[in-house]
Structure 1
Amino acid sequence: MLVMLLRPPGVYRAEGDTELLTEVMGRGGYATGRDVLDVGTGTGALALAAARAGAATVTAVDLSLRSVAATWLNSKLHRVPVTVHRGDVFGPVADRRFGLVVANPPYVPAETGRLPRHRKARCWDAGPDGRALLDRVCAGVPGVLAPDGEVLLVHSAVCDTDLTLDALDRAGLVPQVLAKATVPFGPVMRARAALLEARGLIGPGQREEELVVVGARRG
């Protein structure tokens, strides 16, 4: 269950994908007693959920200064200890190891491969196939995982779940699909439906997507 969070303009609103990952994390006890890293934290929804689920420590990272400020403020308002860093993916925590990494990265396919830095679209634009950030997280996460560490990712099946499983496998982890949920397209996906159809990423007339939570651990 998501809590009410302050969200400045330009910061991603926690929605169904965040809620699905939060449910998986809580139901499986993934955060309990672990040092947790939330990559691409946005409002800090996953970071706060990990702390409430019994994490030993919680660290959050985001490239957006507004997101860093929002997470810091929400952690104070909810009296939840979260250490927040501004930076790109794992850069600010490259010297640390975590028992759990959670991520809800941008995953909406965009017209071009150029990723926006200073527009609201940075919250969802992820290159032509939606995998620009997903693939970076999959490739880099082993470098910040503890020996018994695990990662939980959420994204749309439009980005091809099998590619995520393959990417995590290539990174030396053992992946599996932990949860799925079908939801109607949000405003951005609806606006890009014709583009997605033209690229063969969705079927003709498709206006629903499957959200997928993928987990992976060291073998």
Structure 2
Amino acid sequence: MLLIRPPGVYPPQGDTALLAECVRREPLDGRSRVLDLCTGTGAVALTAARTGARVTAVDLSWRAVVTAWCNSRLHRRRIRLRRGDLLAPVTGGRFELVTANPPYVPVDPQGAGAAPAAALAWDAGPDGRLVLDRICRAVAPVLAPGGSVLIVQSALADVSATLALLREGGLRASVVARRRQPFGPVMTARAALFERLGLIAPGQREEALVVVRGVRGR
């Protein structure tokens, strides 16, 4: 898919592709309401919009929101764009599907200095769960009866915690997709940190990506 991506906006990568594959398996149609959190370039939102679903996409970054708008125009798909913190811009909304490709890369707890603005797209606290936990705890009430949430993350950020939190929220949760891939530039730069934290074996330079699906009962 051809996408505009200016500097500072998270580029579609393996996690984007894996999440999009799962979106294509969802039973969406013109009556479906879809919410894409941490939309970035809008790649996953566009995947959902191709089904005819009514899509709302949210990102904290103004640059990402503008980029997603440009890409929606490029592909002639209607997407409602909102800038804000996760679910805050859609208070009171209900959706048949919520998707999320949130930041999930662990950062050095001893790190000093300000990170570049672009790092907001991947930095997620010492355990990688700063944003994941917030989504898992808050998503159930915005799902319509029978609705689903799809969350993509690295296995380095504790998949079992994602499953547990979604289940605590009353959802049926399971891993529905998995893929191994070599570390990208950010993960490679932090490989020594991950080894020190015990997140990877010495010399390991690949990660497992997973998509977790949570389903609300009818």
TM-score normalized by the length of structure 2: 0.94
Provide the rounded CA distance (Å) in 2 between the counterparts of 1:127 and 1:112.
7
Counterpart of 1:37 in structure 2 is: 35
Structure 1 pair 73–160 and aligned structure 2 pair: CA distance change class (3 A): same
Determine helix, strand or coil for the equivalent of 1:183: strand
Determine helix, strand or coil for the equivalent of 2:139: helix
Matching of residue 62 in structure 1 with residue 40 in structure 2: no
Matching of residue 129 in structure 1 with residue 124 in structure 2: no
Could you tell me which amino acid in structure 2 is paired with residue 127 of structure 1?
A: G
Shift of 1:117: 8.4
Moved over 4 A (4+): none
Matching of residue 97 in structure 1 with residue 99 in structure 2: no
Counterpart of 1:213 in structure 2 is: 211
TM-score normalized by the length of structure 1: 0.94
CA RMSD of aligned residues (A): 1.6
Q: What are the equivalent positions in structure 2 for 1:26-175 lying under 5 Å apart?
A: 26=24, 28-33=25-30, 34-55=32-53, 57-112=54-109, 119-175=117-173
Shift of 1:31: 3.1
Aligned residue pairs, count: 214
Provide the rounded CA distance (Å) in 1 between the counterparts of 2:165 and 2:138.
10
Q: Please tell me whether the aligned partners of residues 113 and 127 of structure 1 are also in contact (alpha carbons under 8 angstroms).
A: no
Consecutive unaligned residues of structure 1, counting only runs of 5 or more, are none
Consecutive unaligned residues of structure 2, counting only runs of 5 or more, are none
Could you tell me which amino acid in structure 1 is paired with residue 156 of structure 2?
A: V
